[in-house]
Structure 1
Amino acid sequence: MSLDRESVPREREVPPVAAGAAPAPNPHATAEQVEAARHDSKLAQVLYHDWEAESYDDKWSISYDKRCVDYARDLFDATVPEEELRNLPYDRALELGCGSGFFLLNLIQAGVARRGSVTDLSPGMVKVATRNGQNLGLEIDGRVADAEGIPYDDDTFDLVVGHAVLHHIPDVELSLREVVRVLKPGGRFIFAGEPSNAGENYARPLSTLTWRTVTNLTKLPGLSSWRRPQAELDESSRAAALEAIVDLHTFSPGDLERMAESAGAVDVSTSTTEFTAAMLGWPLRTLEAAVPPGRLGWGYAKFAFNSWIALSWVDHNLWRRVVPKGWFYNVMVTGVKPS
């Protein structure tokens, strides 16, 4: 899908979420809606992410304390040239496909930007992200918006960021052209957390195998307390059916570089993260989704986090030197709007 430049809505035409004019979240899609979404990618995006919005932070262990502030800042520092880091903060930033606001809210807390705006196709996600920003006392506004037609004027933002969003967008290059349009001359964009072609070949099968193993084992006598109620498992299965629809792309680093340059960006570069950490992280996240909340306990949470940190260190300090860049699970891309 593509949009003519004249059809892209401008800032004055799209009211902020706080004005009450945005679509209401729909947190529980019906089987009929899920079926309709199989033939409408953007409907699938809205249904799936509205469904996930209120539980998204818990599902992915997202927080807005030092743990995730440091993680977001590490991703940023690994992508941006060192000389630019000395000029922080940016004044105004936008997060595209904000989800619950994880990336931008933590980057603002890390001193990367002073104030920000969040957009997402999902009303539920915009609601959660703006609420999270307000709870943190940050200067945040939010809008329900299509990434292929960003509802802001040209030359509005100093920084545009996104985390695990580009792979949901049908026309990635069109979206990147929009990103370049709303950036001020010399402004930078950073997109992190995008799945690589190679990484999807090991992460998704590990997750599927874990789900099947846990949901079958917990049917055995004596393990019923480890099993979620069947209604919750059925709902998770319907959500998983939508997830298979909303994940539209995987990328090689070269793919993202070419699209960013075609969109008009300069100084484009990519980096990758998580190799063995992804092989651990996906099964652990799937295990957490398959058992009742809180059942695994604090000891498990500490083990999972420390193990992921340790493997991330190994990936960065060992495997990065010997494993091809494209084999890592997450791809990050950055570029600048020409001055």
Structure 2
Amino acid sequence: MNEPGHASTQSHPSAAEVEAARDDPKQANILYHDWEANTYDEKWSISYDERCVSYARDRFAHVAGTGGWPYRNALELGCGTGFFLLNLMQAGVIEKGHVTDISPGMVEVALRNAKQLGLDVDGRVSDAETIGYDDASFDLVVGHAMLHHIPDVEQALREVLRVLRPGGRFVFCGEPSKVGDFYARKLGQLTWWATTNLTKLPGLTDWRRPQAELDESSAAAALEAVVDIHTFDPQQLRRTAIRAGAMDVEVATDELTAALLGWPVRTFEAAVPKEKLGWGWANFAYRSWRALSSVDTNVLSHIVPKELFYNVEITGVKP
């Protein structure tokens, strides 16, 4: 798939399809991400402006520094809608980009986003455990919140090293830590329960989404639980990359108080009608998240164990 197209509107998978996919995580990923492709950016508040450009740039630099910018030729693995690569290109970190994902719908949306931004990107559908590119094709491989979807992470990292040129670097960010995933899911479940029940009360029913939409969100959450295969201990992930053959492997973590705010906020947004939340809410959510992220980075990262933060980041180099 080399030309951007329009991902077809996907009806949500049937209960039978979800049940069948429980024993086939790759098929589950295709079902879930094809279904979510056209609404994914909105669901996760993804944009391609300075807000997310600076986020992508800062997360990359946090673990890998700024040396080597711009990378001439880069691949995003498990690209989704292209969030990480496209924003890194806009930040001047990458010149030429390529995207891959196991989901055809996501690749289509990523290429469409790239075309709208005027960025030089091509892509193809590909399994991360058998990347569909030749040896030594790239100077950089990146990914965001995708390693936890892959059944065999070590095999995927071997493939990453295969398609990198000698001295090439990989950078993966946004992976859930074991502890962070536990508290994020609990906060999300509590927020969903509270919001969907409180909005049944008189005077609050205007804040309740139609039941059919709530049911679809619940179905998406059930399938999402199937595709989220791993959580990571930072040092165990580092050892996995070293076993795969990487050198100069470093790990970092971020978001603690920011995650404690972010997960309830995202869940609340998913549980109420969009028209109820305007610019004021979006500004509050973003500014609050930025302030707490600054506290996490500048204060708590120096005194709190890495394992307690939500996001894990990892980088390494091909010998």
> Scaled by the length of structure 2, what TM-score is found?
0.97
**What displacement does 1:178 show?**
0.2
* Alpha-carbon distance between aligned partners in 2 of 1:149 and 1:139, rounded to the nearest angstrom: 24
* Larger displacement relative to structure 2 (180-189 or 318-327): 318-327
- 2:3 pairs, out of 18, 31, 34, with 18
Q: What is the SS of the residue equivalent to 1:153?
A: coil
CA contact (8 A) 1:27 1:52 kept: no
Contact 2:158 2:245 in 1 (8 A): yes
CA drift of 1:19 comes to 9.2
Find the residue that maps to 1:175 and give its secondary structure.
helix
CA distance in 2, matches of 1:52, 1:18: 20
Matching of residue 273 in structure 1 with residue 254 in structure 2: yes
Q: Deviations over 1:77-110 (max 9, x none)?
A: 111145x2xx321111000000110000000010
CA distance in 2, matches of 1:310, 1:189: 29
State the partner residue of 1:288: 269
Where does 1:239-258 land on structure 2 (aligned, <5 Å)? 239-258=220-239
Displacement of 1:29 in angstroms is 1.3
Q: Aligned with 2:132: secondary structure?
A: coil
Aligned partners of 1:324 and 1:70: how far apart in 2? 25
Are residue 89 (structure 1) and residue 52 (structure 2) matched?
no
Instruction: Say if 1:17 and 1:144, in contact at 8 Å, map to a contact too.
Output: no
Picking from 200, 216, 222, the partner of 1:219 is: 200
Question: How many residues were matched structurally?
Answer: 318
Deviation, structure 1 residue 17: 4.1
2:290 is aligned to 309
1:72 paired residue number: 56
Aligned partner (choices 210, 232, 239) of residue 191 of structure 2:
210
Query: Aligned Cα RMSD in Å?
Result: 1.4
With over 3 angstroms needed to count, the CA separation of the structure-2 counterparts of 1:51 and 1:79, relative to structure 1, is same
Candidates 19, 23, 38, aligned match of 1:35: 19
**What code does the residue aligned with 1:332 have?**
E
Preserved CA contact (<8 Å) 1:25 1:124? no
Q: Secondary structure at the match of 1:302?
A: helix
Q: Which of 30, 51, 55 is the equivalent residue of 1:46?
A: 30
TM, length-normalised to structure 1: 0.91
5+ long unaligned stretches in structure 1: 1-15
Q: CA deviation at 1:318?
A: 1.2
The 1-side partners of 2:21 and 2:199 are apart by 31
Aligned position for 2:89: 108
List 4+ stretches of structure 1 deviating above 4 A: 23-27
Given the superposition, is the C-alpha separation of residues 99 and 44 from structure 1 closer, same or farther in structure 2, using an over 3 Å criterion? same
The one of 225, 233, 241 aligned to 2:214: 233
Which runs of 5 or more structure 2 residues have no equivalent in the other structure?
A: none
Asked whether 1:58 is paired with 2:18, we answer no
